[in-house]
Structure 1
Amino acid sequence: MTALPGTRRLLATWLTLMGLTLVAMLSARLDQGSWAPLPLWSAALVLIVTGFKAQRLLMVYLNLRAATPAWKGTFMGLVILTLALIGAGYAAPRLGL
């Protein structure tokens, strides 16, 4: 058995990522004619979808599923930290902080 992901796994992941991109686009309200800040629930949905997409990219395309737990934890920790900083930067002015 090879440690590399197979074609079927790669295609399934790609289709999942494309579907999640559509979810992010719809929740970001890109179809509206006027520009307005996103509500917090919509921004949170975009961040959650982005986090899941990053996890799939790391585990499947970068093949971190075959890596040690330390590598997985480090990369996922960096993704979570990045998303938390983006979310905090978006939420702080809307919550009056």
Structure 2
Amino acid sequence: MPSARRLVLAWALLTALTVASMVAGSMGAGMGGAAVILAVTLIKARQILDIYLNLRAATTGWRVAFTALILLILGIVLSALALAQVLP
């Protein structure tokens, strides 16, 4: 179980990353902005998995599997955004 200090630090990081996502989203930077937001999303997802769900204590296989799943989902989202810009 993570310590209270680690949980608070993770919460502060997640809050800062949320603000960064909001700022990047409000700038309307197209695909570059979307890529930045999705990269921030990856960091946030890893923090939640590692700290709050204590995946850090799990075996490497579980960590790799969850990271691969997150990357797959974010890749699908980015591909859909790119496709939406190409198609009329």
TM-score (norm. length: structure 1): 0.83
1:17 matched to 2:14? The reply is yes
Give unmatched runs, 5+ long, in structure 1.
31-36
CA RMSD after TM alignment = 1.5
Correspondences of 1:55-94 after superposition (within 5 Å): 55-94=46-85
SS in 1 for 2:21: helix
From the two aligned structures, give the one with the greater helix fraction. Answer: 2
Question: Which amino acid in 2 is paired with 1:88?
Answer: S
Shift of 1:93: 3.1
Give unmatched runs, 5+ long, in structure 2.
none
Name the CA distance, whole Å, in 2 between partners of 1:82 and 1:38.
21
4+ residue runs over 2 A deviation: none
